[in-house]
A = this chain, B = another copy of it.
Amino acid sequence: MNALEIIKERYNNSASANDSSKPDIAFIGLGNMGAPMAENLLKAGYKLSVFDLSEAATQRLHQAGARVADSPKDATNNAQVVITMLPAGKHVHSVYLNDDGLLSGLPKGTLVIDSSTIAAADARMVADVANTYGIEFLDAPVSGGTGAAIAGNLTFIVGGSTEAYARAEPILESMGKNIFHAGNNGAGQVAKICNNMLLGILMAGTAEAINLGVKNGLDPKVLSDIMLQSSGRNWTLEVYNPYPKVMNNVPSSNGYKGGFMTKLMNKDLNLAMQTASETKVDIPMGSKAAELYDVHSVQHGDKDFSSIIARHDASIL
């Protein structure tokens, strides 16, 4: 970027920051995913009030131009839109539904977007309470790791009314590339969990297929190429091969650092098990993948989820 472009970009940012047609946003939860998502909203010209328990996180956003709030409630002052990006259902419950939770104090017509990955039943419960207060609630979990959050090309899978979805779409487009409307409240969580359960199955299955070939004398790259061009083709063979050195710029060629951590895949598979159990649905393949990731996460929770291949060959790690 040359100097002129830098100046232009600064001008555009500051111009759009004053764009009164854009709603003010409260952003709560500035972790590895939330912080870059909030930064992308600032870059897109939204006025942001942020809250997180970590001072380092809020400082980072302060420097990027956000107002730092003292509490979730403080962050929502004057906000027409609230976005949360929290670790688990209990945090979402606490922020929205506790005695000093947000829902009871927000003005009617506020749009609430929860991008946390939580159980669909929890998302539906929060949505139901929100609706009784006249607040529009969307579950909008994301797919894509921290790299996608930084680059602003996350995938959002959204559940809620068509009207709320239409309000949210331009905001989500500042943080993501693919925005899907999966259905009514809870449908975003259900679709994400179905996708990630399938991803766990694809990864565990692809890892063991490559290992079976290698243990029977095949070259992992030759076998991967054959399956990629045959009916075994799947996302992991396309962009995320689990076998070391078959593909460049993936965690398997970098000591399984970065990427999507095993403990997060483990969490998603357990959410799938919970959803299946609550709705009396049989998921034998998902349950088997969950079992494998449960065991693998004991020692390797912080490694990328493609490291599941090491259960077949410990020398890989």
Chain A interface residues toward B at CB < 8 A: 120, 143, 155, 157, 178, 180, 182-184, 186-187, 190-191, 193-199, 201-202, 204-206, 208-213, 215-219, 222-223, 225-227, 229-235, 238, 240, 272, 275-276, 279, 281-286, 288-289, 291-292, 311-312
Instruction: Check if B195 sits within 8 Å of A230, measured CB to CB.
Output: yes
Instruction: Check if A218 sits within 8 Å of B191, measured CB to CB.
Output: yes
Q: Which 5 A-B pairs have the closest CB atoms?
A: A234-B234, A201-B205, A198-B232, A198-B209, A195-B232
A312 to B285, CA, bound (A): 12
Instruction: Check if A212 sits within 8 Å of B182, measured CB to CB.
Output: no
A231 to B148, CA, bound (A): 13
User: What are 20 A-B pairs at a CB distance below 8 A?
Assistant: A180-B229, A183-B217, A187-B216, A191-B218, A191-B227, A198-B206, A198-B232, A198-B234, A201-B205, A202-B205, A204-B284, A205-B285, A209-B286, A212-B286, A215-B281, A216-B275, A233-B234, A282-B312, A284-B291, A288-B288
How many Å from the CB of A60 to the closest CB on chain B? Answer: 28
Apart from A205-B285, A212-B279, 15 more pairs, CB < 8 Å: A155-B229, A157-B230, A182-B223, A186-B216, A187-B216, A197-B205, A201-B285, A204-B284, A205-B286, A208-B283, A209-B286, A212-B272, A234-B235, A282-B311, A284-B291
How many Å from the CB of A168 to the closest CB on chain B? Answer: 16
On chain B, the residues within 8 Å of A215 by CB distance are 279, 281
The number of times this chain is found in the oligomer is: 2
On chain B, the residues within 8 Å of A191 by CB distance are 213, 218, 222-223, 226-227
On chain B, the residues within 8 Å of A204 by CB distance are 284-285
On chain B, the residues within 8 Å of A209 by CB distance are 194-195, 197-198, 201, 286
- Tell which of A217, A235, A282 has the most Cβ of chain B within 10 Å: A217
Instruction: Check if A194 sits within 8 Å of B157, measured CB to CB.
Output: no
Instruction: Check if A233 sits within 8 Å of B238, measured CB to CB.
Output: yes
A202 to B235, CA, bound (A): 11
Instruction: Check if B284 sits within 8 Å of A195, measured CB to CB.
Output: no
A16 to B208, CA, bound (A): 46
How many Å from the CB of A91 to the closest CB on chain B? Answer: 23
